A and B are shown apart, each in its own frame.
Chain A
Amino acid sequence: MGEHIEFMGKDIYFWNFIVLMFFTLFEVGAVFFETIPFTEIEITKLAVWGILIVVGIIKGYGIAAFFMHLRDDPRIYTRTALFPVLFVLLMLWGIGLSNPAGVTDLPSWCTPNWDYATTR
Chain B
Amino acid sequence: MKIDPIHQFNIEPLFTLGHIGNHTIAFTNSSLYMLIAVLLIALLMLASGRELVPGRLQSVAEISYEFIASTIRGNAGAEGMKFFPLVFSIFMFLCVSNLVGVIPYTFTIASHLIVTFAMALMVFLTVLIYGIYKNGLKFFKIFIPSGIPIYILPLVMFIEILSFFLRPVSHSVRLFANMLAGHIALKVFAGFVAMLGFSLGALGWVGGSLPLALTIALYALEILVAFLQAYVFAILTVIYLNDAIHPGH
> Are A and B co-members of a single complex?
no
List residues of chain B with CB under 8 Å of any chain A CB.
none
List residues of chain A with CB under 8 Å of any chain B CB.
none
